[in-house]
Structure 1
């Protein structure tokens, strides 16, 4: 799941792609539950033969879960990393006729219209100045009332709360103590992390309604909102 040229060629290159499956399960509390809830929330409004947009589809974890659970859905998965998309392609081999993968950013994604959209563990990689436009690009591709499920790192940005949450995130991920300080510095400077209140305000500004928090796992938050 990557969102910049740097991430595409570096942090989300071949080496990261090969080991990707290990990271989320170690770093994201209740990942399997998050995927199951995402499937459930989408299914409330996506028809049996619906079309779903998956932004940050590289790695293919959520694509596989959704395709396994919903035999009539078709998926368009978008990610700028060719290496990560190659991993996703292997993950969804049994559903290859229903999954289209595109090496792209949201601006060049298929126009849809889509019956639902998903973006998991990706938005904290998107620069702050691109967050609102990304949300708007997703929303305009959705049919009215379609669900959008989004989950990523989000916590208070005031101190000392911010530093404490970063430390908690690093500790949960099992980083070696001697590397913890460097990991905390990387998270604090390289990721775009907003407070939950700001996340919800930005969803509203992008035109989404009915936003509800459905998932909270330590430093992670997940919302469902509607176009």
Structure 2
């Protein structure tokens, strides 16, 4: 559906800011929640570390934070590695190719992020598996910050959101070809309604779920490992 090891991954950082309104603001808001919870020294788990946006957003102002990033795409991990090197704190970053359920780490993490990942995962037990994998690796009462697309394909609400998002992309200057490809990908994405995401979080062992972000189909939550 989306090849992060191909051309899409190479152009991801340039395209995503136009494809997702308030993309940068999402990370600013996530950072604010992390700063209300974490100490000066903290270990963060970044699920779907992608091109390393979390590293550049959270790392420089926190010299005692360390990051463990997990991603199945080798190309995206290489981009994240180069980003950490360019910022001068590669010694605080560990990157692993694969999925979080495979991550072996003896010490639990102080917080985790899973941003713009869950909507790519089928709801055949895999969405729950990734959330359980995160919960298993967190300290009790540690926060998870989660953001993904939600909705029900074919519903009137979903159709209205898709139409508005398509128009937004036109207004910011994206070509009809890019808009068409992007909307086609979204139409094949295994999104679920927000209520389903909340059920999955609870089943995986999270509570105190707070919605803090919304942008068309995207929603963001902060939850606590119970």
Residue 80 of structure 1 is matched in structure 2 by 72
Residue 128 of structure 1 is matched in structure 2 by 123
> Structure 2: which 5+ runs fail to align?
none
Within a 5 Å distance, the mapping from 1:208-227 to structure 2 comes to: 208-227=206-225
Residue 114 of structure 1 is matched in structure 2 by 109
Number of corresponding residues? 218
Residue 91 of structure 1 is matched in structure 2 by 83
Q: Return the offset for 1:178.
A: 6.2
Distance 1:181 1:27, change over 3 A: closer
Distance in 2 (alpha carbons) for counterparts of 1:80 and 1:182: 23
Distance in 1 (alpha carbons) for counterparts of 2:219 and 2:82: 28
Distance in 2 (alpha carbons) for counterparts of 1:159 and 1:88: 37
**TM-score, normalised relative to structure 1:** 0.88
- Which stretch shows the higher mean deviation, 123-132 or 173-182? 173-182
Within a 5 Å distance, the mapping from 1:24-43 to structure 2 comes to: 24-43=16-35
**TM-score, normalised relative to structure 2:** 0.88
Residue 159 of structure 2 is matched in structure 1 by 163
Q: Is the 8 A contact 1:157 1:195 kept in 2?
A: no
Once the two structures are superposed, residues 78-120 of structure 1 have per-residue CA deviations (whole angstroms, 9 ceiling, x without a partner) of 0011101111111111110101111111111233400000011
1:60 to 52, 56, 79: 52
Q: Is the 8 A contact 1:155 1:165 kept in 2?
A: no
- Tell me how large the CA RMSD over aligned residues is: 1.9
Residue 61 of structure 2 is matched in structure 1 by 69
Distance in 2 (alpha carbons) for counterparts of 1:173 and 1:77: 30
Distance in 1 (alpha carbons) for counterparts of 2:67 and 2:129: 22
Distance 1:119 1:164, change over 3 A: same
Distance in 2 (alpha carbons) for counterparts of 1:180 and 1:193: 19
